[in-house]
Structure 1
Amino acid sequence: MLTAYGFVEGRLRPMPVEAAADLVKPDVVWVDVVDALEHERGWLNETFKLKLDDEEMEDIEDSARCYIDEAGIHLNSFFLHQRHDEAEVLTVTFLLTEGRLLSIRTDELAAFRLFRMRARMQADFVHSAEDILLAIYDVAVEYAADVLEGVYTGLDKVSSRVLTRSSEMSDKDMAETVSDIARQEDMNGKVRLDLMDTRRALSFLLRGRSLTHAQQDNLREVLRDLESLNNHTAFLFDKINFLMDAVMGLINLQQNKIIKIFSIAAVVFLPPTVIASIYGMNFNAMPELHWQLGYPFALVLMVLSGIAPYWFFKRKGWL
């Protein structure tokens, strides 16, 4: 889907696109492409001299992320994308050329949706293609902050479960807890990757000479927010490691309890086993063999020999 935008009374509004020539009208300031159709790719190739076949897009994603050529300023940035409590990073390709911004991606992203809503509702929210690009990055950073808040909330629930209900947790609860922690760790890692890539793109823009002083100041504010969020992801990684260590410690304690039970049972039943083995031997010279009370005597002796170690361990406080 290909959508062109222009300014109408200070607000960003979609404009009709029926041919490639409509993309370069003077009032078009932003061309947004989501999973372009075949004819739309042809328009982009014709208008912006871009090759948008699948192999070329893969080459763009795996090569230099930021560069300048005769077409304009190229940026290939990661953007966070969430689906059903799972996160991934998608590459968005930007091109700043002749006062116009071109953005190309394969799926709808929350950052772009939030930006369009603000630009539609707030008059004079953006004034140029450069403003649009910086505003999209700014919204993306805010969205990453919201995701990190969600990660912290999820970890806080796990922490409460581990620290207050550890003695009541079953094996299934332990497995679910480990899965929750791993999911939050994956989300936090994807956010950190997104932030690092965004910082690289913004630093590249800051080193260039295409932005005004006011835009550079706004960009520096975004970079400061990025730095604070990066520190927060490091804090979350520490919290994740602590919770994972705590859960693994609880699992080890439960396993040690089970091993302890088997060890005690082995020690308790060892003396009766020895007695039963002795009286199970077939020798003629055994005084108790023909004794009328020999069988109950052996049973009582085995019971007492089993109780004695248990009582001894209990008295020592080992149980």
Structure 2
Amino acid sequence: MIRIFQLDETAVRKVRDIDSFSDTERTLWVDLQNPSREEIKSVEDKFDVNFQSQQEQLEIESSSRYIEEDEFLIANSNFLIPDKEQPDGYLNVPVSFMLKDDTLFTYRNADLKSFADTVKRIKSRRAVFSDGAQILIFIFESRIDYDADLIEMVSQEIKAINRHLDLDAKLDKEMLLKINDYQELTMSIRENVVDKQRVISAMIRSDGWFTEEEQQRLRTLIKDINSLIDHTNFIFERLEFLQNTFLGLIDLEQNRIVKIFTVVSLVFLPPTLLASIWGMNFTNMPELSWHYGYPIALGAIVVSSLVTLLIFRQKNWL
């Protein structure tokens, strides 16, 4: 799918194919989402650009995510989206940005919320965007806001888990795996935010591609990113603390169970000893001739158990 946003004297017009493209109007943004080979070829021929394939975007090194030449600027970044195959999972989608002659070109193979928000912003406030650089900055601003929402969601989930985590809580592997999932998600968010930090830092150092006002917006973005990184560090610490608390509660629960088994074993130790002695069938055992030997033996067994329980109670072992 191709979406082309062109600026005339009064408004921004959206074009969905090259055939409806007007050479007389100023092109702000050319967005390729899940494009076919024919669509990519038509845009490359029309605007004299060259897009990287999806495989090339995935294999590109972090040090080469930003390329600046005299005629164009290229930035590659990963965007985190929910995984449709795994309800609680997220995956990275590479997105390629290119600025050429004040026109922004984007190439992506996923539907991204930050791009949808940018389209809505263009429709609602058309006077805000006068070139592709402003659209590029707004996409990153929207993306950072979305990452902040993800971090806040993880923080709220951690609070919910922490409120229900006590000795009477159901301590099972599902809860431990849930904590691990949030650790993986926080790590993915941090990696994506750091990726944006490197790209935006390079954009700030660029020569002549951004105005002073746009540079100020980029510097504000860097401050927001730094605060998100600090927040992810705090979440990591909370998750580690929560994981250690969870494992500590499991240890306490196991110790309590072992204690119960130990007490039960010790309570039945004296009766077992008496029953073992009186269970010997020697000929000269005087107890064999006792008339009330059986009830006396039962009473002694019960009393020995009760005495053991009383001693444990007095020692506060129960």
TM-score (norm 2): 0.89
* Paired positions, count: 313
| Alignment root-mean-square deviation, CA | 2.5
The 5 Å alignment of 1:52-201 reads 52-60=52-60, 64-69=64-69, 72-83=72-83, 84-162=87-165, 166-171=166-171, 174-201=172-199
Aligned to 1:235: 234
Task: Check conservation: 1:11, 1:119, Cα contact below 8 A.
Answer: no
* CA–CA distance in structure 1, aligned partners of residues 13 and 256 of structure 2: 66
- Could you tell me which runs of 5 or more consecutive residues in structure 1 were left unpaired when the two chains were aligned: none
CA deviations 1:45-78 (Å, max 9, x no partner) are 5454535545434333777211235762111112
Q: Secondary structure at the match of 2:130?
A: coil
CA deviations 1:223-244 (Å, max 9, x no partner) are 1111111111111212222222
Aligned to 1:317: 316
CA drift of 1:168 comes to: 3.3
242-251 or 227-236, which deviates more? 242-251
Aligned to 1:290: 289
The 5 Å alignment of 1:256-267 reads 256-267=255-266
CA drift of 1:28 comes to: 1.9
Task: Check conservation: 2:77, 2:195, Cα contact below 8 A.
Answer: yes
Q: 2:201 aligns with which of 200, 203, 206?
A: 203
Aligned to 1:7: 7
Q: Secondary structure at the match of 1:208?
A: coil
Task: Check conservation: 1:3, 1:15, Cα contact below 8 A.
Answer: yes
Aligned to 2:214: 215
* CA–CA distance in structure 2, aligned partners of residues 228 and 55 of structure 1: 32
* CA–CA distance in structure 2, aligned partners of residues 182 and 62 of structure 1: 26
Q: Secondary structure at the match of 1:145?
A: helix
Q: 1:8 to 1:70 in 2, by over 3 A?
A: closer
* CA–CA distance in structure 1, aligned partners of residues 284 and 11 of structure 2: 110
Equivalent AA in structure 2 for residue 265 of structure 1:
V
Q: Secondary structure at the match of 1:28?
A: strand
* CA–CA distance in structure 1, aligned partners of residues 12 and 264 of structure 2: 77
CA drift of 1:221 comes to: 0.8
* CA–CA distance in structure 1, aligned partners of residues 185 and 241 of structure 2: 17
- Could you tell me which runs of 5 or more consecutive residues in structure 2 were left unpaired when the two chains were aligned: none
Indicate whether 1:254 and 2:253 are aligned: yes
* CA–CA distance in structure 2, aligned partners of residues 155 and 307 of structure 1: 47
Task: Check conservation: 1:41, 1:52, Cα contact below 8 A.
Answer: no
* CA–CA distance in structure 2, aligned partners of residues 307 and 48 of structure 1: 94
Q: Secondary structure at the match of 1:124?
A: helix
* CA–CA distance in structure 2, aligned partners of residues 62 and 222 of structure 1: 20
Q: 1:136 to 1:53 in 2, by over 3 A?
A: closer
Task: Check conservation: 1:4, 1:23, Cα contact below 8 A.
Answer: no
Task: Check conservation: 2:68, 2:206, Cα contact below 8 A.
Answer: no
* CA–CA distance in structure 2, aligned partners of residues 59 and 24 of structure 1: 35
Equivalent AA in structure 2 for residue 203 of structure 1:
S
Equivalent AA in structure 2 for residue 183 of structure 1:
D
Task: Check conservation: 2:31, 2:107, Cα contact below 8 A.
Answer: yes
CA drift of 1:38 comes to: 2.6
Identity %: 29
Task: Check conservation: 2:58, 2:94, Cα contact below 8 A.
Answer: no
Task: Check conservation: 1:11, 1:122, Cα contact below 8 A.
Answer: no
